[in-house]
Structure 1
Amino acid sequence: MRSGAALAAAAGGAVGAGAVAYSLLYRPAHDRQLVFGRLSEAMAEVERLAAGAAAPLDTATAWSWSETLAHCAQSIEFSMQGFPKPKPAWFQDTLGAAAFAAFAWRGRMSHNLAEPIPGAPALNASAPAAQSLARLRQAVADFGAHTGPLQPHFAYGALHRAQYEQAHAMHLANHLSAFEVAQVLLPN
């Protein structure tokens, strides 16, 4: 068993372990299993999907393209501003750190694609995709230019810049895996 997964499994009896186990094992029915280690790679896929009219894969996500982009932007923004409702320090230092270690080791995150960031403003289902795309682009640019301290992740705790970039890239990969460019069927 992989070391990060073994640590998460060993924590199985602790409160909150069910959520961690769910995150480690979650996989929607239609998942492209994208893997990105850097934000630039993830953003290349965002741009490809945006240019080709992204469409959700059947049953892969409950959120629209616009909501997904806004959610991913929120996560990046909160890494610089602070998350509204962080998990307790004991959770971040144990289960959260173990989950991040497992995700980092395998290079891929898996989590419930319809779970909002705790305490984050509700996603606007009617926001135009172009607005959410601009917000995500700005969040990524702001993260790249950010020279101040990064705030602890609400679940994983303190991450250094390279870890945060990996976390954001994996987060985007997990969400983008639920979308593909819409296929236009032409009449015969």
Structure 2
Amino acid sequence: MLRRRHLIVAGAAGAVLPLAGCGEATPQLFRSFAAARDAVAALAKRDGVRSSGAWPLSQVLQHAAQSIEYSIDGYPQPKSALFQGTVGAAAWALFNARGRMNHALDEPIPGAPALDAALPLDQAVARLLAAFERFERHAGALQPHFAYGALDKPAYARAHLMHLANHWSEVSAA
């Protein structure tokens, strides 16, 4: 299977993050919110960046923003406590141990409003950047993840970064 790799230079930290296109590329783990922010902000400045998945790039970014927002506000349809304490906790433990996540990349968050197919990319970028900032500034309690259950802030940050990295595996430059 052919793999296309393109590079995007991400911000002041100088992190170089691969944009994986088609193929079985391992998602790049963003090492920090700063690296993720820089990579996302760079999307608005580049032409031809797209998602090879079922959702256009704008919807991918909206989905990532929803996930971060719900970690603060609460998920609309959480799984049962039994699910969160068994299957969900086991899935989180596996992803956390591997340092990467994989899930159906076209599966919406249960109960979340539909992603706006017409939202311009720059607005989706702005929403995700605002969600990153809001999460980083949030000092209160976080809401249980709809599947994994209770996560502390460092675990949630890691989950959000792995979630974005998983979706990033479908982001490529034309």
TM-score, length-scaled by structure 2: 0.82
Which residue does the alignment assign to 2:57?
65
Larger proportion of strand: 2
Which residue does the alignment assign to 1:55?
50
- Aligned partner letter, 1:35: L
- Aligned partner letter, 2:51: P
Q: Give the conservation status (yes or no) of the 8 Å contact 1:37–1:107.
A: no
Where does the alignment leave 5 or more consecutive residues of structure 2 unmatched?
A: 1-21
- Aligned partner letter, 1:121: P
Distance 1:32 1:110 in 2: 10
Larger radius of gyration: 1
- Aligned partner letter, 1:78: Y
Q: Give the conservation status (yes or no) of the 8 Å contact 1:37–1:170.
A: no
Where does the alignment leave 5 or more consecutive residues of structure 1 unmatched?
A: 1-27, 183-188
Q: How many residues align?
A: 152
Tell me the secondary structure at the aligned position of residue 44 of structure 2: helix
Distance 1:154 1:40 in 2: 25
- The equivalent position to 2:110 in structure 1, one of 102, 107, 118, is 118
Distance 1:38 1:91 in 2: 29
Matched, 1:150 2:145: no
Tell me the secondary structure at the aligned position of residue 36 of structure 1: coil
Tell me the secondary structure at the aligned position of residue 122 of structure 2: helix
Matched, 1:40 2:40: no
Tell me the secondary structure at the aligned position of residue 162 of structure 1: helix
Q: Give the conservation status (yes or no) of the 8 Å contact 1:71–1:116.
A: yes
Larger proportion of helix: 1
| Change beyond 3 A, Cα 1:69–1:128 | same
Q: Deviations over 1:73-126 (max 9, x none)?
A: 000000000000000001101110110111011110000000000000000111
CA displacement at 1:177 relative to structure 2 = 1.3
- Residue identity over aligned pairs, in percent, reads 50
Distance 1:163 1:97 in 2: 12
CA displacement at 1:176 relative to structure 2 = 1.1
CA displacement at 1:48 relative to structure 2 = 3.3
Distance 1:132 1:49 in 2: 10
- Aligned partner letter, 2:163: H
Q: Give the conservation status (yes or no) of the 8 Å contact 1:92–1:154.
A: yes
Tell me the secondary structure at the aligned position of residue 101 of structure 2: coil
